[in-house]
Amino acid sequence: MATGAEQAHGAAAPGMPQLDFTTFPNQIFWLVVTLVVIYLVLTRLAIPRIATVLAERRGTVANDLATAEELKLKAQEAEATYEKALADARAEAQKIVAEARAEINRDLDAANARAEAEIAARLAESETRIAAIRDTATENVRAVARETAVEVARAILPAAASDPAALVSAVDRRMEMEGGA
């Protein structure tokens, strides 16, 4: 049954269609036509167009790279200028700071000198006043000492009190000695 069907089928289409030589001229004719058409499409339209686009793209990319390089150089230049401006500004600032410091120092020195002079003047004045007070005190002590010496002498030794002038000079001498010691 199966073999019969196969035989019938075999009779309908003998063997491989690939080996049916009666179809070869048709296939080869249309193959040649097709290849020629594809060749014309490629050489007239596709290949020039794609080649142009690719070349254009290469050109654009190269241009862009060159522009980028140029811009990079410019940026570096700008950075250098900026750095220089920054350094200049820093130097200027330092100069100004130094000047200000010097001025302040000068003012400070002047104020110090003034203050010292004033202090010295006050000191001198105080000393004079102290000296005056001390002189007054010495005079008072001397007077008290004379009076006391005279009174003491009068009380203990009335004979000696007859000459108060000698007593006074003795007290003075003594005081001179004490002061000297």
Least separation in angstroms between CB 66 and another protein: 16
CB 17 within 8 A of CB 23: yes
> What angle, rounded to 10 degrees, do the helices at 164-180 and 47-156 form?
150
Backbone angles phi, psi at 14, to 5 degrees: -70, 120
For another protein, which is the closer residue by CB, 35 or 86? 35
Least separation in angstroms between CB 65 and another protein: 14
Residue 6 contacts another protein per CB under 8 A: yes
In angstroms, the Cα distances linking 127 to 76, 116, 124, 156 are 75, 16, 5, 42
Give the Cα separation of 40 and 48 in Å (integer): 12
Residue 7 contacts another protein per CB under 8 A: no
For another protein, which is the closer residue by CB, 57 or 129? 57
Give the Cα separation of 75 and 83 in Å (integer): 12
For another protein, which is the closer residue by CB, 35 or 96? 35
Site pattern 35..74 for another protein (x: CB under 8 A) = x-xxx-xxx-xxx-xxxxxx-xx--x--------------
CB 171 within 8 A of CB 149: yes
For another protein, which is the closer residue by CB, 18 or 158? 18
DSSP state string for 18-31: GG-GGGHHHHHHHH
Q: Which stretch binds another protein (CB under 8 A): 20-28, 70-78, 106-114, 150-158?
A: 20-28
Least separation in angstroms between CB 34 and another protein: 4
Measured between its terminal Cα atoms, the distance across the chain in Å is 168
Which spans of this chain sit near another protein (rule: CB under 8 A)? 1-2, 5-6, 9, 11-14, 16-20, 22-35, 37-39, 41-43, 45-47, 49-54, 56-57, 60
